[in-house]
Amino acid sequence: MKGVELYVEVRRAVYVEGLSRREAARRFGIDPRTVAKMLAFSVPPGYRRSRPPARPKLDPFVGIIERILEEDKGRPAKQQHTSKRIFERLCAEHGYGGGITIVRAYVHERRQRLREMFVPLRHDPGHAQVDFGEAFAVIAGEEREIHFFAMDLPHSDACLVQAYPAESSEAFCAGHNVGFEFFGGVPRSILYDNTKLAVARILGDGRRQRTRTFNELQSHYLFADRFGRPGKGNDKGKVEGLVGYARRNFMVPIPHAASFAEFNAYLLECCRRRFNDRLRGHDETIGERLVRDREALLPLPPAPYDACEKQAARVSSLSLVRYRGNDYSVPTAYGHREVLVRGYVHEVIIACGAEEIARHPRSYEREDLVFNPLHYLALLEDKIGALDQAAPLVGWELPAEFATLRRLLEARMGKPGKREFVQVLRLLEVFRADDVLAGVRAALERGVIGFDAVKHLVLCRIERRPPRLDLKVYPYLPQATVATTMAKCYLSLLAGGAS
């Protein structure tokens, strides 16, 4: 190929000096056709095919390759044919005798032509995009997978990221609550993918049937919803980019936190610091552009949405209520009754009618049992024989004074002593644990071992009055007296035995 320098000399000789094409060809020792080409182009145009390359070995199999690529469109991306796999099938199933290079070239060119093109979009203030991402973090000393909620305002590129134990409907709603509060308003519209948390079903005409929880959330905040095409994450490219950005910048190295609350506080601070960034193509910082977003947002309602999943259930004969595969205890008085379970991100609340009857930390284990020992004390008072084998009491760490009280009660009364001990424990249903412990300690110090004595001492502590434990007035309050053994007592016994 002739260089640009020769092009300059030939074109100057013909157009400036007035040489003919034949004279220029003789002077520079090139073909007259080359001179004509140099006069037509100011720089070397490169090699140009006059007709498509002949592929005598591949052409009979092009239809088969096209069919394979067409079928791949509906397959998962990780299970589509590679060029090598197409070559192997052509050889094994169709008797192809050519090489792999020409197959690879054809498949690459075909896929290049099929690649989707996009239209640059503008983003008006007051609109948002939402998605979930996954990462790993160390929470309370345990490395675990976390699911983080991401909300992006495309006009300003302001973001909100919050982490949750699972990608659940209650986490979805809680993320919206935090995001709206963080931005100071409700976006006019929010773009989602077709997550099952929001879309129960895609109908034949493309309309979406929303989930009940999503309908409640939308009715509370009054934002409009938009959904991308199924399997097309690029429809909400801003928040897709935010998910990757947050994972790379907020969660590398793997973060450590004592709780999800602490971790989410850290993520909020990361989002606030980003307000000072100035992104490529913008003269203003994210925070300066966020002002226009906030002016376009809808006002917040008086109270946030109650971000929970509501589910009806029935109390079993073991006084347990099942929610999301785990069992949570309720007081035994509510056995076999219908209840309403409200599942929040970090706790489970159970109500019977308008009355809240149980509140537990949320468990994300499988087939877990979550007990509150207080729920079973009333039943144990009747079925005292089950006290030592009661599963709800396993792992219940009580101060050592309670064990001492039980030992003394059983030593004095036998089996009825167990029942009195359970009655003492039932004081925890009504009074604070510190007050009951103080009552037990005071009873042990005074040597009055019994439920009535402990209850009297607890009430005196709460009412801030001195105890009036006169054993003449309360003869049924037994007093434990432990005498000090002296050597002369043994001598008197020996003397009595000798006589």
For residue 474, being part of any structural domain is answered with: yes
- At 362-418, the pLDDT tens digits run 999 999 999 999 999 999 999 999 999 999 999 999 999 999 999 999 988 888 899
State the DSSP H helix or E strand holding residue 358, giving kind and residue range, or none if neither: strand 355-361
- The reply to whether 120 falls in a domain is no
Residues 144 and 241 in one domain: yes
pLDDT value for 499:
45
Most confident by average pLDDT, 120-134, 234-248, 424-438 = 424-438
Answer yes or no: is pLDDT of 48 > 80.
no
**pLDDT of 329 above 90:** yes
Give yes or no for residue 455 having a pLDDT over 90: yes
Residue 234 has pLDDT above 70, yes or no: no
Classify residue 219: in a domain, yes or no: yes
Res. 449: pLDDT tops 70: yes
**Tens digit of each residue's pLDDT (9 = 90 or more) over 58-80:** 989 999 999 999 898 878 888 99
245/30 Cα distance (integer angstroms): 58
Q: What is the pLDDT of residue 239?
A: 93
Give the Cα separation of 115 and 360 in Å (integer).
52
pLDDT digits (tens, 9 = 90+) for 146-181: 999 999 999 999 999 999 999 999 999 999 999 999
The region that residue 175 occupies, defined by phi over 0 for left and psi between -120 and 50 for alpha, beta otherwise, is alpha
Tell me what pLDDT residue 482 has: 53
Note whether 419 and 397 are same-domain residues: yes
Choose among 349, 332, 353, 331: nearest CA to 341. Answer: 349
Residue 31 counted as domain residue: yes
Contact between residue 150 and residue 132 where contact means Cβ atoms under 8 Å apart: yes
Decide if pLDDT at 292 tops 90.
yes
Tokens 């109270």 belong to residue? 303
pLDDT digits (tens, 9 = 90+) for 262-271: 999 999 999 9
Question: Are 137 and 263 within 8 A, CB to CB?
Answer: yes
Does 446 lie in the same domain as 334? no
Decide if 187 contacts 127 (C-beta within 8 A). yes
The predicted pLDDT at position 233 comes to 56
In 94-141, beta strands by DSSP E: 127-139
C-alpha 116/C-alpha 122 separation (Å) is 19
**Domain ranges, residue 290:** 127-296
Is the pLDDT score of 192 beyond 50? Answer: yes
Tell me, yes or no, whether 387 and 338 share the same domain: no
Burial pattern 17-43, b for ≥16 Cβ within 10 A else e, equals eebebeebbeebebeeebbebbeeeee
* Shared domain check, 392 and 320: no
Would you state the structure tokens that stand for residue 76, as one six-digit string?
């998962």
Q: pLDDT-derived band of residue 256, with 50, 70 and 90 as boundaries?
A: very high
Q: What is the pLDDT of residue 296?
A: 96
Q: Give domain status of residue 51, yes or no.
A: no
| Confidence label for 481 from pLDDT (cuts 50, 70 and 90) | low
pLDDT at 188: 96
Tokens of 121: 């979009």
DSSP code for 173? H
pLDDT of residue 448: 86
In this structure, the answer to whether residues 388 and 255 fall within a common structural domain is no
User: Per the structure, how many domains does the chain have?
Assistant: 5
Which H, E and C letters describe 293-342, residue by residue? Answer: HHHHCECCCCCCCCCCEEEEEECCCCCEEEECCEEEECCHHHCCCEEEEE
Provide the pLDDT for residue 294.
96
Q: What's the whole-number mean pLDDT along residues 250-271?
A: 96
- Asked whether residue 89 falls in the same domain as residue 131, the answer is no
In terms of domains, do 356 and 435 share one? no
The pLDDT, as a whole number, for residue 314 is: 97
Q: Are residue 10 and residue 68 in the same domain, yes or no?
A: no
Q: Is 248 exposed, middle or buried (0-12, 13-18, 19+ CB in 10 A)?
A: exposed
Residue 156 CB neighbours (<10 A): 25
CATH number at residue 275: 3.30.420.10
- In the block, residue with structure tokens 């552009």: 289
Mean pLDDT (the chain, rounded):
90
* Cβ neighbourhood burial of 258 (10 Å; 0-12, 13-18, 19+): exposed
C-alpha 216/C-alpha 307 separation (Å) is 10
Look at residue 146 and tell me if it is in a domain.
yes
Task: Flag whether 53 is in a domain.
Answer: no
Q: Are residues 158 and 285 in the same domain?
A: yes
Within-domain flag for 385: yes
Sequence-distant contacts of 299-303: CB under 8 A, at least 24 apart: 299/185, 299/186, 300/180, 300/181, 300/184, 300/185, 300/186, 301/220, 301/221
Measuring CA to CA, which residue among 148, 173, 156, 136 is closest to residue 267?
A: 148
Cis peptide before 230 (omega within 30 of 0): no
